[in-house]
Structure 1
Amino acid sequence: MPFNTAGPLSDTISVSASGNELVVLESGVYQITVSINAETTTEPDPEQPYLTAVITVNGAPVFGDISTFFNISNRDSSTFVIQAPLSAGDEVGVSIYTNFPALGYMNRSMTLVRLGSEMLNK
């Protein structure tokens, strides 16, 4: 999921060189919020597959498994919120996949909010 800019209050966040992740510049506990709209047809169809999105840190699922995945049905939107300890230099992204090639997405966003400096066991 590409990003082209970090938001206005981003003194502890930047965009990765590839533009596919947000980079944490200061260690701490962060709230990660991801919102995505799935879109392919003009009408919802319960028979159509869905997008699956996984929040990643440094290219791997954030907690080491796919427990942080969420599904987005066609013509629907979804928001997922987690909290995680992140270290300076960690790259946070979202991997999206589907078995239905025509299904795409739009209006995506990811927000990282630093909640505190205390690191949990990572």
Structure 2
Amino acid sequence: MSFKDANGHCHSNKCHVTESKYLARFVATQGPIIPPPERVLSFGSLRGDTVTDTTPVMTPVPFSVAGPLSKVTVSPTGNELVVSESGVYQVTLSINAIAFAAPDPGQNYLTASITVNGAPIFTQGLAVFNITSRNSSTFVVQAALNAGDSVGASATSDDPIFGYLNRSLTILQLN
């Protein structure tokens, strides 16, 4: 039996001189230590799981649980996230519509919108989305926000028995 040590030296009379050319040697070295980023970006979330009825006018979506939060606070109403610094943010609203025992394409739908300072995030109406009965939907937008802006959600339906539950609102600063 023969073997070569880490330096390629033969420890038997059966080693050949040419074998040392074909031995792979790996040397592990420690890579550079990268310091953590100096700046922590903002993030926050709100969620709720109670059944909430809708009205024919856009009404703020209530939330019951806040957090986690970093450099984002919750508004006094508890239904909006307030950003502490200006930047580009990603805002996500997820909401489940409930009304009927089974989905029916002929039935009304829930209309929801992400809001900034109480108004739709985009004024052209592009921030409004519809959810049919017993379905859920997630809406994601990126927008430039200013320090102090309050981000929330509103919902409405023409159908008096329409409601929603299991909703969440998250915000993440991208830069």
Fold shared per TM-score above 0.5: yes
**Residue 4 of structure 1 aligns to which amino acid in structure 2?**
S
Query: Is 1:91–2:150 an aligned residue pair?
Result: yes
Please list, as runs of the form range in 1=range in 2, the aligned pairs for 1:7-86 lying within 5 A after superposition.
7-8=67-68, 10-86=69-145
For the residues of structure 2 that align with 1:44 and 1:26, how far apart are their CA atoms? 42
- Coordinate RMSD, CA, aligned: 1.1
Q: Of the two structures, which has the highest relative contact order with CA contacts closer than 8 Å and spacing of 6 or more?
A: 1
- Structure 2 CA distance for aligned equivalents of residues 98 and 37 of structure 1: 13
* 1:4 matched residue in structure 2: 64
Higher Rg: 2
Whole-angstrom distance in 1 between the partners of 2:136 and 2:64: 21
Identity of aligned residues (%): 57
Which sections of structure 1, spanning at least 5 residues, go unmatched? 117-122
Instruction: Output the CA distance in 2 between the equivalents of 1:74 and 1:47.
Output: 10
- For this pair of structures, how many residues does the alignment match? 115
Runs of 5+ in structure 2 lacking a partner?
Answer: 1-60
d(CA) in 1 for partners of 2:115 and 2:140?
13
Shift of 1:5: 3.7
In the superposition, the TM-score normalised over structure 1's length comes to 0.89
Q: Which has the larger share of strand? A: 1
- Provide the TM-score with structure 2 as the length reference: 0.63
Specify the alignment match of 1:119 in structure 2: none
